[in-house]
Chain A
C-alpha cells in the first residue's frame, strides 16, 4: 500500500494583493491553502521579502547589521539602488523613521523628497512606512501617498487612531494599505471592518498583526497570525482574508541575542552569524504562521530565507 497524504480543502481564500508596476509588479497572497501547502491548492504569489531601507542613516541599528549596508546607507537612494541592483531585492521597504518627533523630526516635505528620489531610482515594488507615530504618520503618509501616485505602493501603517486619513490618502492615490493592530485578533478584524466601511476595498489591505522576535514574543505573533489565517481559510471570514505582513527586522535587531558580542557572551558564538541566524529563524517562523510579506534587514538573512522558501515550495 503506497502512502497517500491526506488533503484538506478550505472554503476560504486569501486575497491576492498587487504591488508595483510593469514587469516588476508582484502579487502577495492569493492562496487557498495553509502556508506551503501547494499540494492541496493554489499558491499564486510566493512569499515576498522586502529589504528595509531608511530615510536617515541607521545609527540605531547594531553593528552586525549596520556593517552590511555601511557603504550605501548614508543616503536612501544609493541604499535602495544597492538593494535592488547588487542584492537582487524583489521589493524594498522604505521606513521614514527620521520623521519621528523624537528622532530627526523630518518634515512631510523631506519625506516626500526622499520617496520621490527613491521611486525615481528603483523599479521594484516599494513598501512605504512611517515612523509609527500616530499624529506624524497622518501628515507624512498623506503627503508621500500623493507623491507616489501611480506607483502602486503599499503604504502604512494605518492604526485605529489614524486609519481614516491614511486610508483616504491610499484610496485617493491608488495604493495598498497596511492595517496594523497590536497583537489582538479581534481588534485586527475590527480595524479591517472600519477601513472597509470607509469604502476602501478589502482586497487592497495587508494586515500587520504586529511582529516580534524569536525569544521576544514570537509565539504571540505566531499565534495571532495562525488564527487569522485559519479564520480566513476555514471560516471563510471575508474580513480576515488580506495577506499578512511581518515587519520583523526592527524587532530582531535590538535584542540581546543580536547585539551582545562574542566577548560578552562567549557561549553564544560570534556576531554577525548569530544575528543573521536569529533574523532568518524569526522570518521562517512567520512564514509558517502564514505571513506572505516580510520586512527584513540583513541581506544574508534574506538570502537564507529565500533559500528556505525555494526548498519549501512544492
Chain B
C-alpha cells in the first residue's frame, strides 16, 4: 500500500505562504515528516497556478527532493507546470506520478506528457459533465482512459485509476460506490489495474474531530478491496495501513508490528 503524502497543498495557509515566498524551510520540514511516517511519495499540489506555475512546480519538485529520497506526485490542472516539474524530477528513487488526466478533453494532453517523460499517471474517472453516478459508470470512464493511455504507449501498470472519493456529509450513498469501484477497476485488466484515492475527500466538510476517524475506517474498507495507493496524511493513516496489511496477510504478524 503506497501512501502519497498529501500535506504539501496550496490549500494549507502555511504551505501556500511558503510557496509564495519560495521559503524552503516549511516545505522540506513537512516533506521529511511525511517520509518519516511512511510516505512512499510526496504530493505537490500547487492548485491551478495560472501565473508562474511552471517555475513554482520546478521549485517544489527540487525543494522536496533535496529533503527526501522520494518521487513526487505532480498535482495541478496546469499542464505546462506538470511538464516543467517532470523536466527536473529526479527519478533515482522512483518515477514521478501525474495527478491527473480524466475523460475531460481538456485533460487529454496530460496523457501525452506522461508518455513523453516516462511518468506514471493518475486517471480520474470523471468526464466533462457531472459526477459519475455509480461504480459501473466509473468503470466505463476508466476503460476509455485506459484505451487512451495505451494509444499513447503507456503501460497499463503505470496507470492508477482514481474513482473520485466524494464527501460523506453531502453524498453519503457515494461512499460505498467508490469502494465497489476499486474492486471493479481491478477486473478491467490482468494483471489488475492499480487504484488510488484522495482519501481525505471523504471527510471534507465534517467536524475536525471526526475527520481522522472517517478517513481511517474508510481506508480500511478500500484496502480490503485491494486499493493500491492513497493520497493521505501518512501520520494519520500509519496505524490503519500496518494493521490492515497484517490482517490481509501482506505482512507477517509480530507483537511489535506497529513499530516496524
Assess the A194–B256 pair: CB atoms within 8 A. yes
Asked if B260 is at the interface (CB within 8 A of a chain A CB), the reply is yes
Within the complex, the shortest CB–CB distance from B45 to chain A, in Å, comes to 30
CB-CB < 8 A to A239: which residues of B? 252, 254, 260
Which residues does chain A contribute within 8 Å of B189, judged by CB atoms?
none
Q: How far is the CA of A187 from the CA of B253 in the complex (A)?
A: 9
Determine whether A59 belongs to the interface, using a CB cutoff of 8 Å to chain B: no
Q: Is the CB of A190 within 8 A of B255?
A: yes
Q: How big is chain B's contact interface, by range?
A: under 10
**Nearest chain A residue, comparing its CB with the CB of B256:** A193
- Chain B binding surface, main DSSP class: loop
| A194 CB contacts on chain B under 8 angstroms | 256
If A186-B253, A239-B254, A239-B260 are given as contacts, then 15 extra A-B residue pairs at C-beta distance below 8 Å, sorted by A number, are A186-B252, A186-B254, A187-B254, A189-B253, A190-B254, A190-B255, A193-B254, A194-B256, A227-B252, A231-B252, A235-B250, A235-B251, A237-B252, A238-B260, A240-B252
Say whether B252 contacts A193, CB under 8 Å: no
Interface of A is mostly: helix
| Chain A residues within 8 Å of B252, by CB | 185-186, 189, 227, 231, 235, 237, 239-240
CB-CB < 8 A to B251: which residues of A? 235, 237
| Minimum distance in angstroms from A184 CB to a CB of chain B | 10
Which chain A residues border B255 with CB–CB below 8 Å? 186, 190
Query: Smallest CB-CB separation from B252: which chain A residue?
Result: A231
- The smallest C-beta distance from A183 to any residue of chain B, in angstroms, reads 15
Residues of chain B whose beta carbon lies under 8 Å from any beta carbon of chain A: 250-256, 259-260
CB neighbors of B among A161-191 (8 A): 185-187, 189-190
Please measure, in the bound complex, the distance between the C-alpha atom of A235 and the C-alpha atom of B252, giving whole angstroms: 9
Cβ of A202 to closest chain B Cβ, rounded Å: 11
Q: At the interface, yes or no: A197 with Cβ under 8 Å from chain B?
A: yes
Set of chain B residues within 8 Å of A238, measured between Cβ atoms? 260
For residue A270, give the distance in angstroms from its CB to the closest CB of chain B: 44
Question: What is the CA–CA distance of A227 and B259 in the complex, to the nearest angstrom?
Answer: 21
A selection of 7 A-B contacts at a CB cut-off of 8 Å is A186-B253, A186-B255, A187-B254, A189-B254, A197-B256, A238-B260, A239-B252
Residues of B within 8 A of A240 (CB): 252
Contact indicator A197/B259 (Cβ below 8 Å): yes
Q: Which residues of A contact B254 (CB under 8 A)?
A: 186-187, 189-190, 193, 239
Instruction: Give the distance in Å from the alpha carbon of A193 to the alpha carbon of B252 in the complex.
Output: 12
Q: How many Å lie between the Cα of A235 and that of B251 in the bound state?
A: 7
Residues of B within 8 Å of A227, CB to CB, are 252
| Most chain B Cβ neighbours within 10 Å, of A187, A231, A235, A238 | A235
Distance, CA A238 to CA B257, complexed state (A): 12
The minimal Cβ–Cβ distance linking B209 to chain A, given in whole angstroms, is 33
- A-B pairs, top 5 by smallest CB distance, nearest first, are A189-B254, A190-B254, A193-B256, A231-B252, A190-B255
What is the 8 Å Cβ interface bit string for chain A, positions 187-223, against chain B (1 contact, 0 not)? 1011001100100000000000000000000000000
